[in-house]
Every structure is written in C-alpha cells, then in structure tokens.
Structure 1
Amino acid sequence: MSIRVAVVGAGIIGLTSAVRIAEAVPDVDVTVIAENFTPHTTGDVAGGFFEPYLVEGVSNDTLRTWCVETFDFYRNLQQMYSSNALGLVVTSVYELGEEAFLATEYDVVVNCSGVGARTLVPDPLVIPVRGQTIRVQAPWITSVVVAGDYYIIPK
C-alpha cells in the first residue's frame, strides 16, 4: 500500500518538497493542495537570485557551492520532469477542510503554506520577513539593478 502525502502550498518550497518526496520515498502518492498555483504564487513575481540572501558566517566557497548546486538542481528538474511524469495535476480547491480531514486522508501532511499560514491556521503572528515584491510595467528597464537590499529585475 502506498504512503499518502499531502503537501500544502504550491510555491517553490511546496513544489520542491513534493518533487523531493516523490524522488526519495518509494511507493508514495503525493498530492499538492493549494489556494493558488503558478502563475499566481509569490515565486512567479519574486526576484530570482542564485545567491543566498541575508546569510552570515558562511565562506564564499560554501556560498558558491550552494549556488551552483541549486542552479543545477532546478535546471535538471526543468529538463527531466514534466508535471505528467511526476503525477501533478492542477485543480481548483474550493475548501481545504479541517485538520481532521487531512489527517484521515493522508499519512503525512507537509505544511509549505508560507505566509499563507496566517489565514490557514489562523495565526496573526505569521508575517512576511523577507520584504515585498511589486510587479510593474517598466519596459525601459533592461538590466538588473541592485542597491543594497533593494533590487529591480526586468522581466
């Protein structure tokens, strides 16, 4: 009998978790449950740097290794898998249900809801800590601009 795993959240962390679980656990049935799927997640408009952000006390060699391995991992996912090969199906969720429902339907529930946990749990103490992303029409911006903690990335 297969292990039933629910991953709550379809952002970069939720989908990466779902893929890694599917790769690492034999005979597993992974379901991704989310309010929004791409292109309506934070990751679809967030800036993408292959450099750990706000990391202290780590050598440049270690950071370089992390960046290269991360880039290679995502590139390989893009080249090797399709949503069909992984068994992913995009579908609407009208009601997530109560904790008891997930507990009876799945053997394991992985919460990757990010800041969405604020309303999912609910927990008003959950707040974003990495900043805000704004998507604007600015076709004249053609280069990445970085100024301290602020950046602009053209589409």
Structure 2
Amino acid sequence: MKSVRVVVVGAGVIGFSTAVCVAEALPFCSVTLLAEKFSPDTTSDGAAGILFAGKFPDIPLERQRRWFKNSFDHLLDIAQSQHSPEAGVMLSSGWQIFKDVQADKKPFWSEAVIGFRFMTDSELKRFPEHKFGHAFTTIKCECSSYLPWLEKRFRKAGGLVEQRKVNSLQELSNSYDIIVNCSGLGSKLLVGDNKVYPVRGQVLKVEAPWLQHFIRDGDGKTYIFPGMHCVTIGGTRQEGDRRLQVDEGDTKGILERCSGLEPSIGKAKVLGEWVGLRPSRRNPRVEREVVQLQGRRVPVVHNYGHGGWGVTLAWGTALDALGLVRQCLHEMPLQAKL
C-alpha cells in the first residue's frame, strides 16, 4: 500500500513536470494528477517552448539561475537521447537581437546555454535596426509532443491521471494528504490569488523548412522559432486581455514584423493560428503553506505564475516543488505516513 496520497492540480508543462518529479522520486507516495484540460488543449501546447528567460524582480538570481540550469540540463539529456523525436525536444541555434546595447550585456542564464557569445558586426548587418545581439544554442521543447511523453513517463512511475475540474481545495481535503497546486491562471479562483493575471499571446505556425535558425527581438514581441514540423512566429504580449479568438490585426502585424527580420517569411504557408493566455505574476509562486480544510490542516505546495517562461523553468521549479513536498512529509505526524 502506498501510504501518502499526493494530488497535483494542473496538466500543463508545470503540472506534469512536477507530477513526474514527485512520482519518480517518492515511490511510496501515490500521486494523482487532476485537470480539466489536457494536451492539446493547454496553454503550454501553443508555447514556442524555446529556452531563455526574463528576470523576476523579487526572486534571488541564484535561485532563478538554478531553475534555468536544471531545466536546461534535463531537456538537453532528452534532446541528445533516442527520445528526442517522440518528446519533441531538440537543439536550436540562433540570435537574440536588440535595438540598443544592453546595460546588462550577459543575461543571468548565459552560462547554461551552449556557446553563448556576442554577435559580430557582420552578423548584425542583416538586422539594420539592431545594434547588439547574442548568438547561442539553446533547446526547443514542443509541448504538443512533450506533454503526452511526460504523461506516459508519469503513468510508468505509477501515477494516476483523472480529468475533472477542481473548483476548490475543499473538495480534495478528504482524499489527499498533500495538495500540489500547478493550476496557472486557475489559481486566481482556486486559491484566491489576485496577483496572477493573463497575458494574451497569439502565434502563427508556418511552413518554412528552409529556416534553420531562430531569431528573437529582445523586446520579446517578435520572434521566429523553427521547430521539428513547422516554424512558430509571433507574437503578442497583451496584459489583462482574455480574448481567446484569433485577431486578424494581430496576424497581419506578426507577419509584417517577422518579414522585417526574415524577408522569406512572406513565402511561407500559414498552417494555423493559435491564442493562449500566459499565467503571469510579478514572481512565480513556488512555496508551501498549511491550509485549514474541513477541520484538517493540509499542506499545500504551490508552483504557478511563470508567465511566458513556463517551459523554460518547468523542470527547475518542479524540483523545488519536490523539495517542498519532502519537507511536508518530514513534518507529517507518523500515523499519517503509516
């Protein structure tokens, strides 16, 4: 009999990464993942899924660096293994370009990626409006393949998966000993967090097999990310905007801006359009608390609010969440574990 019952709420890249970490590391726990939506209907599914990160204002840089490096190393192992095509994880080289020279020329994650360097003048020539840039090799993780692959890995570790909407933590309190909340934007209602808000992202998937290198404008609004089967181009960052329908004006703007960086985009066939709401927060919430639910004190571990950096930081924050679950276990009364 597995003694401690753990439930993970949320089936995006944060939820499944966390569920896999817990199920594989703690075989004496029975781990169930509950979610209303699964791949291909999660926000993670539309993510470009390329690894670099912005800086969060109130989280120690060392911790952010560790999140990035742990995620990068985990995905690099997959990219260099036989699982790469099934998991949708591949190496990707290219450029991040800026209209002005950055005060902080080297991002905090520069040591973790492969071959990071500043772009040469001759490389920058093709981007006349940009004065500075980074060249490096990173990883692209395509969640439409990666999430089903993680689910398989989770089930292999003994994990249970159930599709249902969780409206409150109260409904979980009698069935589980530890709750892990990876509900993204859902945390606004589930745990009453008003600090989490949507940032609308719209992207296009295009057929352009001749494009081999990613290009990302440093402002994060214009990008071209070649993948295994198509090229993702974008995008938008519309704070507080909850519209899930495709906006034709945005589509036109994306095609124009991306053609400005890569003229051949004009020749690419549009395969599809996608809109998603990034679960943003000033800082991701990766912490634990004890909540009073129906007369019981139940430990809750939170892991959500990564905004546009979910794929980038998923494995790193999942390992932190695993550490928090271990702390909950240490503090449990002995009879709960028996």
Tell me which interval the TM-score lies in, with the shorter structure as reference length.
Answer: 0.7 to 0.9
What aligned pairs does 1:9-88 form with structure 2 within 5 A after superposition?
9-51=10-52, 53-55=53-55, 65-66=69-70, 68-72=72-76, 75=79, 78=87, 82-88=153-159
Task: Map Cα deviations across residues 33-72 of structure 1 (whole Å, 9 max, x no partner).
Answer: 1111111111111111222x113867xx989955641323
Q: Unaligned regions of 5+ residues in structure 2, if any?
A: 88-148, 226-230, 233-338
Say whether the 8 Å CA contact 1:50–1:71 is kept in structure 2.
no
Structure 1's 5 and 124: CA in aligned 2 closer, same or farther, altered over 3 A? same
Task: Map Cα deviations across residues 78-111 of structure 1 (whole Å, 9 max, x no partner).
Answer: 5896454133455431x42542221110000000
Determine which of 179, 182, 185 is the counterpart of 1:109. 179
- For these two proteins, the number of residue pairs brought into alignment is 149
Determine which of 190, 195, 202 is the counterpart of 1:134. 202
Q: Is the deviation greater in 11-20 or in 143-152?
A: 143-152
Say whether the 8 Å CA contact 1:6–1:109 is kept in structure 2.
yes
User: Aligned AA for 1:21?
Assistant: V
Say whether the 8 Å CA contact 1:145–1:152 is kept in structure 2.
yes
Runs of 4+ in 1 over 6 A off after TM superposition: 61-64
Q: Unaligned regions of 5+ residues in structure 1, if any?
A: none
1:113 Cα shift?
0.6
Determine which of 212, 216, 220 is the counterpart of 1:146. 216
1:133 Cα shift?
2.6
1:19 Cα shift?
0.7
User: Aligned AA for 2:55?
Assistant: V
CA distance in 1, matches of 2:183, 2:77: 22
Say whether the 8 Å CA contact 2:7–2:32 is kept in structure 1.
yes
CA distance in 1, matches of 2:26, 2:205: 43
TM-score, normalised to structure 2's length?
0.37
The structure that is strand-richer by fraction is: 2
Determine which of 75, 79, 100 is the counterpart of 2:170. 100
User: Aligned AA for 2:73?
Assistant: E
Q: Secondary structure at the match of 1:40?
A: coil
Q: Is the deviation greater in 42-51 or in 68-77?
A: 68-77
- The answer to which structure, 1 or 2, has the higher relative contact order (CA under 8 A, 6+ apart) is 1
